[in-house]
Amino acid sequence: MAGNTGSTGSRIEPGMTTDFKDRMDYGSYLGLDLLLAAQKPLSDAPDELLFITIHQVQELWLKLATHELDGAIAALRNDELQPAFKSLARVSRIQAQLISAWDVLSTMTPADYLAFRDALGQSSGFQSYQYRALEFRLGAKDPRMLAMHQHHKAHHAHLEALLAAPSLYDEALRLLARHGLPIPAECLERDWRQPHVSNPAVRAAWLTVYRDTHRYFDLYELAEELVDVEDQFQQWRFRHMKTVERIIGFKPGTGGSSGVKFLRTALERSFFPELWELRSEL
């Protein structure tokens, strides 16, 4: 029958490019030779490739997440809420991928990990430059965290700039003020190197938005997009903590931290505290 190639026929259709001499192909565009050569286990342990791959994939997602957050911050600064919503929604989807990565890593048993743990030396995910950049953009500011990046001048300089710049939430509060809501002056111009601290007047402003969603629907949607991002981030933190507990229990981390105990402390910190507090007052 015409058009039926059968089970053994070629799947090459007329017009499909097969000669890539002097042409861009898929692998070249994506730099796959470089990307796939980046997994270099330092031991013979079978699961070290899994460990490296998961963390490299997470770094790629973090790169995209920080790119989208930069877009969201710029959009809020320019009063362009719809592009900000799109970027924040994408960040939440990216975070879902980051969370699911722990499910794959959790297939590694304690014995599997111990077979190559010594090869890690003092390296730890907490030293991730991109994770630190993500935290700073979200408002988890702590100048002390710069210390572990001082050996890399470019990374250190970029993190210093992010530390000194308004975070996503800082720009959201500035936006509320431009929309006529009474945000205290100390929340609009301050030392951006310090984290935002919960403020009753800010909580009251957000309550105004939530109590009149028809009037402030764009700001209401912004608030919920921010809550989505923090919710997903906390789920990522929780899955990270439980995966570490499953694999190493309560042993110290490779980077010198207390391990699970250290990871648990992050679960108590909020990027956007008033957006969580107001729920008890509605």
Residue of 173, 227, 230, 165 lying closest to 191 (CA atoms): 165
Asked if pLDDT for residue 152 goes beyond 60, the answer is yes
pLDDT above 60: residue 16: yes
Residue type at position 56: Q
pLDDT band at residue 10 using 50, 70 and 90 as cut-offs: confident
Q: Cα(235)–Cα(54) distance, rounded to whole angstroms?
A: 17
44-281 to CATH, choices 1.10.1370.30, 2.70.70.10, 1.20.58.480, 1.10.10.10: 1.20.58.480
C-alpha–C-alpha distance, residues 197 and 195, integer Å: 6
Residue list, annotated binding site for heme: 240
Band the pLDDT of 234: cuts 50, 70, 90: very high
| Binding-site residue ranges | 51-55, 113, 117, 240, 254
- Tokens at residue 28, please? 């070249």
- Give me the pLDDT at residue 268, please: 79
Contact 219, 209 (CB under 8 A): yes
CB 166 within 8 A of CB 191: no
Assess whether pLDDT exceeds 50 at residue 88: yes
pLDDT score for 51: 96
Q: Break the chain into its structural domains and give their ranges.
A: 44-281
What six digits make up the tokens of 210?
Answer: 């939530």
pLDDT range class, residue 186, cuts 50, 70, 90: very high
Asked which of 4-8, 58-62, 107-111, 188-192 is least confident by mean pLDDT, the reply is 4-8
Average pLDDT over residues 38-48: 97
Q: Over 80: is that where the pLDDT of 43 sits?
A: yes
Instruction: Give the pLDDT confidence score for residue 4 in this predicted structure.
Output: 53
Q: In this structure, are residues 169 and 196 in contact, taking their beta carbons and an 8 Å threshold?
A: yes
Helix (H) or strand (E) holding 248: helix 217-248
The DSSP element (H or E) to which 234 belongs, if any, is helix 217-248
Averaged pLDDT, 84-106? 96
Residue 106: predicted pLDDT? 94
Spatial distance between the Cα atoms of 226 and 108, rounded to a whole number of angstroms? 33
pLDDT of residue 1: 46
pLDDT band per the 50, 70, 90 thresholds, residue 264: confident
pLDDT of 177 > 70? The answer is yes
Q: Enter the tokens of residue 2.
A: 């015409």
pLDDT of 203 over the 80 cut: yes
Mean pLDDT of the chain: 92
Identify the band that residue 230 occupies on the pLDDT scale cut at 50, 70 and 90. Answer: very high
How far is Cα of residue 96 from the mean position of the Cα atoms in its chain? Answer: 10
Note the pLDDT tens digit of each residue in 124-148: 888 999 999 999 999 999 999 999 9
Render 29-59 in DSSP notation, one character per residue: HHTHHHHHT----SSS-TTHHHHHHHHHHHH
Percent of the chain with pLDDT over 90: 79
Q: How confident is the model at residue 41 (pLDDT cuts 50, 70, 90)?
A: very high
CA distance 35 to 48: 17
Helices (H) and strands (E) in the chain, counts: 13, 0
Q: pLDDT band for 8, please (50, 70, 90 cuts).
A: low
Known binding-site residues for substrate equal 51-55, 113, 117, 254
Kindly report the length of the chain.
282
Q: Can you give the pTM of this predicted structure? A: 0.90
> What's 55-119 look like in SS3?
HHHHHHHHHHHHHHHHHHHHHHHCCCHHHHHHHHHHHHHHHHHHHHHHHHHCCCCHHHHHCCHHH
Residue in the block written with tokens 């105004």:
208
Q: In this predicted structure, what is the pLDDT of residue 250?
A: 80
